[in-house]
Structure 1
Amino acid sequence: MRLFSFSRIFFTKAFQLIVLLLCFSCSKTDKELNNLKASLNSSTDISKKTDDKNTLHKLEKLFCVGDFDGDGKRDTIFQHNFSKLRKGEIEKSPDPAKNEWEDIIKWFSKQDSDVYLAFNKKDKDTLHLGTVQGLYCLLNIGDTNFDGKDEMAFVIDNLDFSNLNSCKIYSLCKGKWVELKQFNIDESAFDFTSTKIASSDIQNYLEQKDNKWFYKDNLQDEPKMQLLKLDECQ
């Protein structure tokens, strides 16, 4: 009886030891698999790796309202920032106040970003501006060339190291956005603007007086404000 009891105890302990070893082996395998998955994710998820190195903030996106297609109805044009890498809208980007400018340039480049302006209506032309950080301003300057449609003016927030920039004025001509005018400005005009959307003009460069718009080209020999005249769409 003692021999039988001893054998039973021995085999019971042996069985428990085998089960314990198997459990340890499985848990170790699971851990290794999890580490492998984490390694693969970190090497393929480029956008997550990029975001982890930067302090992000909500990306400002502008809009303007007017009758840009001449149908007598109110239109809204929205700024979009699209990441071709992520295949979606960029909602957050590196904060210029908390990141190096070179890192911000690299971030938008890796995102393969595209800033574009689009109507709130279907079947309307979209204006693509390329890989830039965004816009300093987006203004409705009214029907300046008297063709029955409002024109829009904007300044691109370029990803470069220069303060030299330009204001571009566009009109919807035969269903397509066409540039009617471009003049040079200095980005210092926006240094004292607390938010980009709180802007109705570009101080000292594009201002409205007595229902007329005046502009100044910063690269003229003697820069001075002059009446803005635009040709009609061709």
Structure 2
Amino acid sequence: MKQTFCITLLILALLSCNRNSKKKVYHPPISANKDTVIKLTKLQKLFVVGDFDGNGKQDTLFQHNFSKQTQTEIEKSPDVFQNDWDNVVKWFDNQDSDLYLTTNKSNSDTLHLGAGQGLYCLINIGDNNDDHKDEIALVIDKLDFSRVNNCEIYSLCNKKWTELKHFGIHEGSFDFNNEKVPVFDKIKDFLEKQNGKWVYRDYLQDTYENESEAGKMKKLKLKKCN
């Protein structure tokens, strides 16, 4: 009996030693911060045709997006439908992008528009100030977090692109339901052609000469330039 008891104690001691000899394995936590994967798509670039210098011949004005970081033209950029807007903005900031317009003529003036993803619209609005040159209207797709924007109207004055007018618009005018981004030839509710004349409404205007003018579109009038 005593021998059996001793054997039992010996077995328990061996089992206890085996349990204590097992080492604990430490598994470090997996970091949740992973590099963001940016999904790219072909960058839409607009162009417009018109007689912008008044020589009676048609010119073509092209949109460009240039990366100062890589010193190359930006051909692909983050898809706004598949990436967070924050990441889109950071991507363009890292590119130090330069949005500008040039014509197909050598030695023509370049219209630099600053940083931007691109243009919502680039419209030839014809000769509204009787200087025998076509003006352009555009809205920059800005890298910001507001849907309030500006329509800018330019003309070649003394062979230099000059802003003739700007007014507030709401980017809701460019909402669409199709898969393909449309090319806009007007800014709904803010810049439209009615009865052969361009009319506009300033989204930011909050004072009117009389109540009947409130919210209504007005005839577009532009100053002349040489």
Q: Which TM-score applies when normalising by structure 2?
A: 0.78
Gapped regions of structure 1 (runs ≥ 5): 1-49
CA contact (8 A) 1:217 1:224 kept: no
In structure 1, the partner of 2:221 is 229
2:79 matches 1:95: yes
Amino acid across the alignment from 1:88: T
Tell me the residue number matched to 2:120.
Answer: 136
SS in 2 for 1:202: coil
Identify unmatched segments of 5+ residues in structure 2.
Answer: 1-34, 207-213
Q: Distance in 2 between matches of 1:170 and 1:88?
A: 26
Contact residue 137 and residue 196 of structure 1 kept, 8 A? no
Equivalent residue for 1:67? 51
Identity %: 58
Question: Structure 1 residues 71 and 115 mapped into 2: Cα distance closer, same or farther (>3 Å)?
Answer: same
| Structure 1 Cα separation of the partners of residues 81 and 113 of structure 2 | 24
Structure (1 or 2) with the greater helix fraction: 1
Q: Distance in 2 between matches of 1:94 and 1:214?
A: 35
Report which of the two structures shows the higher radius of gyration computed on alpha carbons. 2
CA deviation map 1:18-49 (0-9, x unaligned): xxxxxxxxxxxxxxxxxxxxxxxxxxxxxxxx
Specify which of 147, 155, 161 is matched with residue 139 of structure 2: 155
Q: Please, which moves more after superposition, 200-209 or 146-155?
A: 200-209
Aligned to 2:22: none
1:174 aligned partner: 158
Q: Which amino acid aligns with 1:233?
A: C
**Residues 138 and 170 of structure 1: CA distance in aligned 2, closer, same or farther (over 3 Å):** same
Q: Which runs of 4+ in 1 moved over 3 A?
A: 193-197
Query: Aligned Cα RMSD in Å?
Result: 1.5
